[in-house]
Amino acid sequence: MIVITGGAGFIGSTLAKKFDGKDLILIDKFSDAIQRKYINQVSGARLVRLQECKQILNTYKNEISCFYHLGANSSTDQKIFSETVELNIHWSQYFWDFCSNHKIPFIYASSAATYGDGSKGFSDRMNLEELEKIKISSLYGWSKMYFDIFALKQNEIGKSPPIWYGLKFFNVYGVNEIHKENQSSVVHTFLKQLNSDGKIKLFKSYNKNYSDGHQQRDFVSVNYCIRFIESIISSKISNGLYNVGTGKPKTFIEFAKDIMKASKKDGIIKYINMPKNLKNHYQYFTKSENLKSREIHKKINNFNFEEDLNFIVKKIYNQFSE
């Protein structure tokens, strides 16, 4: 039996589809009816609301072979501290303890947001002392870092699952993001803009080191992330934190042009003001430094990002028309 939290969400539902046909428990808040389209891709899973999951987990604790914790409040501009603590820390700690107590492998979603503005680099080899020195302004990034540090400290005192990996996902894009609306990846946003008025809108730069459109991000497909998850769980790599990114950042202009090419639609790039609530924690550059996780990345280095993007764009257009 496999458990996936956030099973009706973006990465969670994509992973669940990979396990279709297996005995699955999908835990989520199930707050958006659009997500039923994602769940329909997985037949026969047990659907469990987050607030009711403790009893179900206790019932099946001896049958669970792996626990994937991908559920969270992933909004980058969240402001309600109590909600952030409950969803991103309290529940993460509960699932960690559950898997520790019952000797269940535990894989959870961290984030590149834990690297803050990137001034300390993006290495997944950072030790606990180095991580604690990173300044993070967003509640989302702070919550992910808080749990990373919790996991490392629990591991030090021997209170951890037998196998555990915290995966620092970079800028993930893919299908099954419609429910995220303005928090969806730029692939969704740009395709909507191309469809509506033939323009792709990029934020102006407020950093003298980057001209408009030349901000860089490590854009990574959700399908690559799933391949990474599959590879790491079958490996004998040490427990700890690992980056999940390409290691090859692109400018927003470059990625916008990739999306236009995949969609077979030419558009005009327009620069717009950045919302005030983003300016304080906006990342102008991200690059996954994969020295620690390079062996896993090597296993999937045949991944074709161009073909994958063509596939994703087609699927997203199909979702737009449904």
Tokens of 100: 């520790």
Q: Name the DSSP class of 118.
A: S
pTM for the whole structure? 0.94
Quote the CA–CA distance of 49 and 26 in Å, as a whole number: 8
In one-letter notation, the amino acid at residue 227 is R
The dihedral built from the CA positions of residue 120, 110, 101 and 161, taken in this order, carries a sign that is: negative
| Contacts for 143 with CB less than 8 Å, ≥ 6 apart | 72, 73, 84, 85, 88, 89
| Contacts for 140 with CB less than 8 Å, ≥ 6 apart | 73, 74, 75, 76, 77, 78, 84, 88, 111, 113
In one-letter notation, the amino acid at residue 269 is I
317 carries an active-site annotation: no
Tokens of 50: 């987050």
For CATH 3.40.50.720, the residue range(s) in the chain are 2-170+220-247+289-299
146 carries an active-site annotation: no
Active-site choice (140, 146, 173, 282): 140
Q: What are phi and psi of 241, to 5 degrees?
A: -95, 135
In one-letter notation, the amino acid at residue 107 is I
| Nearest in space to 225 (alpha carbons), one of 39, 41, 12 | 12
Are 82 and 258 within 8 A, CB to CB? Answer: no
Quote the CA–CA distance of 49 and 69 in Å, as a whole number: 14
pLDDT 10s digit of each residue in the chain, 322 long? 999 999 999 999 999 999 999 999 999 999 999 899 999 999 899 999 999 999 999 999 999 999 999 999 988 888 899 999 999 999 999 999 999 999 999 999 999 999 999 999 999 999 999 999 999 989 999 999 999 999 999 999 999 999 999 999 999 999 999 888 878 899 999 999 998 899 999 999 999 999 999 999 999 999 999 999 999 999 989 999 999 999 999 999 999 999 999 999 999 999 999 988 888 778 999 999 999 999 999 999 999 999 999 999 999 988 776 6
| Nearest in space to 219 (alpha carbons), one of 243, 193, 191, 185 | 185
Helix H or strand E encompassing 46: strand 46-49
* Crossing angle of the two packed helices 186-197 and 305-321, in degrees rounded to 10: 60
Supply the CATH classification number for the domain 173-217+249-286+305-321.
3.90.25.10
Quote the CA–CA distance of 112 and 169 in Å, as a whole number: 6
Which residue has 């928090």 as its token pair?
A: 183
For CATH 3.90.25.10, the residue range(s) in the chain are 173-217+249-286+305-321
Active-site choice (180, 257, 265, 299): 180
Which residue has 């603590």 as its token pair?
A: 85
Domain 2-170+220-247+289-299 has CATH 3.90.226.10: no
Quote the CA–CA distance of 320 and 300 in Å, as a whole number: 30
What is the residue-wise DSSP string for 250-289?
EEHHHHHHHHHHHHT---EEEEEPPPHHHHTT--SB---B
At residue 321, the pLDDT reads: 65
